[in-house]
Amino acid sequence: MYSEEHLYSIALRECNFIGDINFFKLVRRFGTAENVWKTPKKELSKTDGIGTKIISDIGNPDHLKFAENEIAFCEKNFIKINLRHQNDLPFLLTECDDAPAILYQKGNFDTKLKPISLVGTRNITAYGKKFIEDFFEESKSHQYISVSGLALGVDKEVHEQSLQHQIPTIGVLAHGFHTFYPSKNRKLSEKIIEENGGLLTEFNSSRKPDRENFIQRNRIIAGISPATIVVETAFGGGSISTATFANTYNRDIFALPGKITDKYSQGCNHLIFQNKATAISTIKDLIDLLGFNNPKEKMEELFPHSKITIQLSENQELIYRNISENPHISLDDLSEKISVPAHKLLPIILELELLGKVKSFSGRQFIVI
């Protein structure tokens, strides 16, 4: 289940000055974490942006011993160790420059389903609670995974409504799997795993739920999904950081507007005012904008109508097929994939949009309809 690469990856990530970005920079150049660990420091220092201070702790035997104990802990507790450089992470998260080098997992994460992140204040109001209930009720016929932070308030409501509507849900933690915070949600976390969902954390079993971990955790919630919904938050709330990360990653952000006098709507209103989030007008519109998959069950129409088949040109068909196979592909990635300059792709994509074949999202990302 675990390889030497897992061992050396944990040891390397434990080194002083080796964060996620430096880790990835080194393994990308030398191929594996084991190679990095065993390569002379003089050779390591030739890597762009890697100085002698950064590599000074590599090779420390204490970190290898720690890694051995960590792997034993993971084996005992049925924890999967996902490595970014071995393409184990969820696809969208891998695209982020600061994606975690290591992501520990309990339970399941169905990569065939689209993840949607929902975040908000611990001090949820009746307004926020009603929105979450309505959202899951109206979206229950669609196939997706909800993602949140397994905190109190909005997070707890998101996970509970997911379970109630039989939608898999993922909790992203701000600590290692040796503990659980908040303890009130421990039973909920167990239920999530029982119901085909999962828990994720970048933190090993030595890391407690320190304050700074929660902001760091929020970038995973933002990066793992094509869209983040901010339900309720005050000025400066943790969810603002999640929205900021989502903007940085070129994701879609939606915010639930509220009265300007309501404390836990002020953060959402401010995101909308700054054009950092799209205002949610109706749940139906939100579901359309999220571009969910087809419903789990299709009701037979009482008066079915025949669809007109549109014959696509060769170029339209090529682009349509590639977008279909790569939902939410960006313009630059599509251009690289089919070796056609972006400026030549845009007119054809516009034609497909006018034909009702393709839908575009912010950040020049596309899906088929």
Compute the mean pLDDT over every residue in the chain, rounded to the nearest whole number: 92
Parallel, antiparallel, or unpaired for β 329-330 and 365-368? Answer: antiparallel
Tens digits of residue pLDDT in 312-360: 888 889 999 998 888 888 888 888 889 888 888 888 888 888 888 888 7
Residue 308, pLDDT above cutoff 70:
no
Band the pLDDT of 300: cuts 50, 70, 90.
low
Task: Give me the sign of the Cα torsion angle 92, 95, 98, 100.
Answer: positive
Q: How many Å apart are CA 241 and CA 247, to the nearest integer?
A: 10
3-state DSSP call for residue 260?
Answer: coil
Band the pLDDT of 309: cuts 50, 70, 90.
low
Residue 143, pLDDT above cutoff 70:
yes
In the numeric block, which tokens belong to residue 354? 């006018």
Q: How many Å apart are CA 326 and CA 50, to the nearest integer?
A: 34
DSSP for 47-93? STT--HHHHTTTT-HHHHHHHHHHHHHHHHTT-EEEEGGGT-S-HHH
Q: What pLDDT does 171 receive?
A: 98
Q: How many Å apart are CA 12 and CA 54, to the nearest integer?
A: 11
CA-CA distances (angstroms) from residue 94 to 47, 60, 88, 220, 253? 22, 28, 9, 10, 19
Tens digits of residue pLDDT in 190-214: 999 999 999 999 999 999 999 999 9
Residue 281, pLDDT above cutoff 50:
yes
Average pLDDT over every residue of 53-67:
97
CA dihedral angle for residue 354, residue 360, residue 362, residue 363, rounded to 10 degrees: -110
Among 115-119, 136-140, 251-255, 354-358, name the one with the lowest average pLDDT: 354-358
Q: What pLDDT does 7 receive?
A: 98
List 90's β-bridge partners, or say none: none
Among 195-209, 272-286, 294-308, name the one with the lowest average pLDDT: 294-308
Short-list 45, 60, 49, 56, CA closest to 10? 60
Residue 306, pLDDT above cutoff 50:
no
Q: What pLDDT does 92 receive?
A: 94
Residue 132, pLDDT above cutoff 50:
yes
Cβ contact 106:76 at 8 Å: no
Residue 362, pLDDT above cutoff 80:
no
Q: How many Å apart are CA 344 and CA 277, to the nearest integer?
A: 30
Q: What pLDDT does 68 receive?
A: 97
3-state DSSP call for residue 265?
Answer: helix
Task: Give me the sign of the Cα torsion angle 230, 96, 79, 69.
Answer: negative
Amino acid of residue 46: K
In the numeric block, which tokens belong to residue 80? 């999967």
Residue with more model confidence, 86 or 355: 86
Cβ contact 143:113 at 8 Å: yes
Residue 3 CB partners (closer than 8 Å, separation 6+): none
Percent of the chain at pLDDT above 70? 95
